Every structure is written in C-alpha cells, then in structure tokens.
Amino acid sequence: MLPKINRLKKKKDIERVFEKGKRFKEDFLILKITKNALSQTRFGFIVSKKVSKKATLRNKIKRRLREIVSKKGKKLKKGLDALLIAYPGFETKDFWEIDETLNKLLKKAKCLKN
C-alpha cells in the first residue's frame, strides 16, 4: 500500500505535473514527472475509460501500479511529483510485465537512486 504522504491527490498538483512535467513513454504507460518542494516523492495514477469501461478493471490496474511503486519506494529519489498514465492495451499486461515497463520508465527518467 502506498502511504498517503506519497499520493498525489489535489487537482492543482496533478494539473501542475501535466503542464510542467517531462514526459517519458514506454509501451502502454506514460510517466510525467516534475520536481516538488517537499522531501517526499508523490505519485498519481490515471487510467481512463479508453482502457476499459469497467471500473473494476481500471481499479485493478491502479492497485497494481501502486503496489509496484510502493515496493520501489526506497530506491526512488526524493522531491518529485509523478503521474503514471495507462493507455489502451495496458489491461492485457500481467504484473511482471508492468513491473518491467515501470522499471524502464524510471530508469529513463533518472528517478532511481544510484
């Protein structure tokens, strides 16, 4: 479970990441990332109805992404705001494929500690 202090919830914060964030794409997943003035890294997750009309499937995807991000918590750099956006086709991926894709994205964005 991703702790509350590591969640990006406010609309103004999400909009700020959308406007000013750098974009990295891998497979059916996009990472938008920008710096924040906090000592924590915060994540937000977006899965649109284009991925699936069923809320249960969209929520399942978000849960998987949250779990993977929480496992990588200690390896992530501090002071970042990030949005993970899933695109159609993502629903067919299993947990390990999602984990690999997210690893590649975080390495591209240089979000991992050395």
* 94, part of any domain: yes
Total domains in the chain come to 1
Backbone phi, then psi, for 34, in 5-degree steps? -150, 165
Which CATH number does the domain housing residue 70 bear?
A: 3.30.230.10
Tell me which residues of the chain have a pLDDT lower than 50: none
* 42, part of any domain: yes
**Domain of residue 15, residue span:** 4-108
The pLDDT of residue 29 is 95
The pLDDT of residue 51 is 95
pTM attached to this predicted model = 0.91
pLDDT in tens, 11-44: 999 999 999 999 999 989 999 999 999 999 999 9
* 113, part of any domain: no
The pLDDT of residue 42 is 95
> 3-state DSSP helix/strand/coil percent for the chain, to nearest 5?
45, 25, 30
